[in-house]
Amino acid sequence: MRAASPIAVVWLLTIGPAAHAEEPPTVALTVPTAATFPNGPLGESIVRGRRYLADTPAQLPEFVGNGLACRHCHPGRNGEVGTEANAAPFVGVVGRFPQYSARHGGLITLEQRIDDCFERSLNGRALPLDHPALIDMLAYMRWLSQGVPVGAVVAGHGIPTLNLELEPDVAHGEAIYQTKCLACHGADGSGTLDADGRYLFPPLWGPQSFNNGAGMNRQTTAAGFIKHKMPFGADDSLSDAEAWDVAGFVLAHPRPLFQEPSGD
């Protein structure tokens, strides 16, 4: 390779490849240890934010209309929330907003994205944008996002969709549900409560589940989540056809209706 001419170097540094909006860089998903919580008000806010995300219905009952907590779709390990690849991790989200949202037809902030999940996934209502709990959740996500460059994408971000481009075979899905899902999520999809009345295994349909405006209500998103994360403890063990059909079976059941589904 020839050495770059001084003119080429100046071009790279000033106009450079960045002039052509190319792919954002991808970085590894790394989870900081809780020992790195800062002291003082910010550290206290991070601790509260994690509690809201882990225990949402009990902590913010006036904003939650079902039995789900954020961690049920944004799981984490070792007490953290939103740290698992392929399950919409919160690591790195802070530097990817504001972001275009097809749902809103314009740019939205991270606060608005969180509120989308309150209105749809939690079948509840949006927190006011200056609500202290929203600030605490942002503080936690910022702590998780430390070290991820602004604009970068973390490996395993979002929920990779699965699309077989055919009608799911619901009868096949039911057979899979009975052998691989029912023990935790229940014969009637209503989940399993722990001794404190929180969902150990979340509901998949019925009044305590996400509403029909939620991202998880899309066949391709549900199939992708199930393929990568379910059955719990056996990530990526289902075939594409099994994940597709069992997602079809889950979504064939009734669930709460989103109030204003237009524009979605």
Q: Does 186 bind ligand HEC (CB under 6 A)?
A: no
Indicate whether 203 belongs to the interface with ligand HEC (CB under 6 A). Answer: yes
Span 208-227, contacts to ligand HEC by CB under 6 A: 210, 214-216, 221-222, 225-226
- Under the binding rule (CB under 6 A), the answer on residue 231 touching ligand HEC is yes
- Does position 233 interact with ligand HEC (CB under 6 A)? The reply is yes
Instruction: Specify whether the CB–CB gap between 140 and 50 falls below 8 A.
Output: yes
Instruction: Examine residue 46 and tell whether it contacts ligand HEC (CB under 6 A).
Output: no
Residues 86-125 touching ligand HEC, rule: CB under 6 A, are 88, 93, 110, 113-114, 117-118, 121-122
Considering the rule CB under 6 A, would residue 83 count as an interface residue with ligand HEC?
A: no
Give yes or no for residue 201 binding ligand HEC (CB under 6 A): yes
Using rule CB under 6 A, residue 202 touches ligand HEC: yes
Verify binding: residue 74, ligand HEC, rule CB under 6 A.
yes
Shortest spacing between CB 112 and ligand HEC, in angstroms = 10
Site residues (vs ligand HEC, CB under 6 A)? 53, 56, 68, 70, 72-75, 88, 93, 110, 113-114, 117-118, 121-122, 137, 157-159, 180-181, 183-185, 201-204, 210, 214-216, 221-222, 225-226, 229-233, 246, 250
